Amino acid sequence: MVLAAVAVGSAVGDLFLKMGMDQVQTISFGNLGRAVTAVFNPWVALGIVFLTIFFASYLTALSWADLSFVLPATSLGYVLIALLSVLVLHEHISSARWIGIVLITCGVGFVARGPSRTVRDPHNAPHTAEYQSLAGDKP
């Protein structure tokens, strides 16, 4: 559920940011004041809300799983954003990009088959008491 919130929050947040930024004048380093104005665009504001959900979910996932598990799992957002880009924004995605998306999906499948948390030997940990309190073990 948390990893789904990470993928969906990221993809939907980015989609809304793009929709909002299409309505805002071009931003460059010469006119950064427009970036502040862009935040008040409803689509950009909604994108920020969804990206905040993404960030909170991402932090939650990192609290119980290894980064090497969480980060690849979040790449499912790439699949969602590609689909949303085609369906909502009517963007064209080349076959090379679709092949890349399929490869990402296969890679996520391989990673998902492994454990979400690396098993560590608490007796070999440099700070055994600290490890035990972080792992929730009783000393």
State the pTM of this model: 0.75
Q: What is the dihedral of CA 97, 104, 74, 69, to 10 degrees?
A: -160
Residues near 13 by beta carbon (within 8 Å), at least 6 away in sequence: 47, 48, 49, 50, 51, 53, 54
8-state DSSP, 30: G
CA dist 25 and 70 (Å) reads 36
Per-residue pLDDT of the chain (139 residues; tens, 9 = 90+): 898 899 899 999 999 999 999 998 888 888 888 888 889 999 999 999 999 999 999 999 999 888 888 888 788 888 899 999 999 999 999 999 999 988 888 887 777 676 677 666 555 544 444 444 444 544 4
Computed on alpha carbons and rounded to an integer, the radius of gyration of the chain in Å comes to 20
